[in-house]
Amino acid sequence: MSCERQLKGAKITGVGYYVPEKILTNADLEKIVDTSDKWIVERSGIRERHISSDDQAASDLAYEASLKALEKSGVKAEELDQIIVGTATSDMLFPATACLLQNMLGAKKAAAYDLTAACSGFIFGVSIADSMISSGKAEKILVVGVELLSRITDYTDRATCVLFGDGAGAAVIESCSPQEGILSTFIKTDGEYTDLLYLPGGGSRNPLTEESIKKGEQYIHMKGSELFKYAVKAMVQAAREALGSVGLGPEDVDFLIPHQANIRIIQGVRKRLKLKKEQVVINIDRMGNTSTASIPIALGELEESNIIKKGNLVLLVAFGGGLTWGSILFRK
């Protein structure tokens, strides 16, 4: 008798996204810091970003995106086995935003937990969901990437405040036959460079005090140009790993959805992978950098556009603080 485990496949069956109504344009930012629309567009590709209202928290954005993803997939919240929320701006340090979301959705059966992998959180979440489903531990998992970066952005620091936006994206992942859906996943971390992108205050190392707040330690600290150097290299590696592990190459890809951190990073990745402009999904001009939410938002927009067809090969590639990076390759 064989005791070999039968691996199942895992498939994204519904994607939803939500961005807050309020839009902050480059012209708005010109009024609050010493910057210009020209600089922001040329250096980052961003024209506007969505900003949450004061009464919205991560669970609220996640809830809106999740409802849409569930509706698209036809899965009921009560059927979910797990909820994984990637975020660095959870409602509170604990309980996990996933627990709050579980209650809001009425997903009584689901084990719910957060993970923090900065901008790569959604990719890490889908990778875990894929493993859980393919090993038979779960059948239906909701993965959410949500970020309210406006809450941890210093709007007196022109080097960071022009970049970030708020939003949420969600995907329902379900079991399927091994030949369908997700073909490969890749996740990677290099903890040597934690100082390139981090939030110094508010954790157990450095709880917020009057003094630390005066120093601005409640805000994102970023060494942008140093981070830039790693971004293109890491994303290209992630793309090649996911493709290479199943014997495919960039020439097989129909759509690349890169993390939306900077248009120049996206172009660098596109050129190294020798992809055409129309193969790369870009929404950074309208969304800014929404960290872990950027890939599921872009995927949601791609699905809505109807240009993606059944059978298309889609590659999701992220890079972020940690440093963390990774990729998901799937057949639509």
CB of 260 to ligand UT7, least distance (A): 8
Single residue of 25, 30, 41, 43 touching ligand UT7 by CB under 6 A: 43
CB of 35 to ligand UT7, least distance (A): 3
The contact pattern for ligand UT7, residues 218-237, with x = CB under 6 A and - = no contact, is ------xx-xx--x------
The contact pattern for ligand UT7, residues 89-128, with x = CB under 6 A and - = no contact, is ------------------------------x---------
| Main-chain dihedrals φ then ψ at residue 145, nearest 5 degrees | -115, 120
Contacts of 185 (CB under 8 A, 6+ apart): 123, 126, 127, 130, 131, 242, 326, 327, 328, 329
CB of 114 to ligand UT7, least distance (A): 18
- The SS3 assignment for 218 reads coil
- The SS3 assignment for 47 reads coil
Q: Which helix (H) or strand (E) holds 222?
A: strand 221-222
Q: Tell me which residues in 301-330 interact with ligand UT7 (CB under 6 A).
A: 319-320
The verdict on 158 binding ligand UT7 (CB under 6 A) reads yes
The verdict on 297 binding ligand UT7 (CB under 6 A) reads no
Nearest to 44 by CA among 293, 316, 287: 287
Locate all alpha helices (DSSP H) within 215-320, ordered by sequence: 224-244, 263-272, 284-287, 294-305
Stretch that binds ligand UT7, among 39-47, 99-107, 135-143, 273-281 (CB under 6 A): 39-47
Q: How many helices (H) and strands (E) does the chain have?
A: 11, 13
Check: CB of residue 8 under 8 Å from CB of residue 134: yes
Nearer to ligand UT7, 158 or 332 (CB): 158
Radius of gyration of the chain (CA): 19
Starting at the earlier edge strand, list the strands of the sheet with 181-189. 181-189, 324-331, 313-320, 255-258
The verdict on 159 binding ligand UT7 (CB under 6 A) reads yes
How far is it, in rounded angstroms, from Cα 137 to Cα 231? 34
Nearer to ligand UT7, 71 or 190 (CB): 190
Nearest to 297 by CA among 64, 102, 133, 27: 64
Nearer to ligand UT7, 6 or 225 (CB): 225
The contact pattern for ligand UT7, residues 244-263, with x = CB under 6 A and - = no contact, is -----------------xx-
Single residue of 25, 30, 37, 39 touching ligand UT7 by CB under 6 A: 39
Q: Annotated catalytic residue: which of 26, 259, 262, 283?
A: 259
The verdict on 155 binding ligand UT7 (CB under 6 A) reads no
Token pair 């997903």 in the structure block, residue: 107
Active site residues: 119, 259, 289
Residues that bind ligand UT7 (CB under 6 A): 35, 39-40, 43-44, 119, 158-159, 162, 197, 224-225, 227-228, 231, 261-262, 265, 289, 291, 319-320
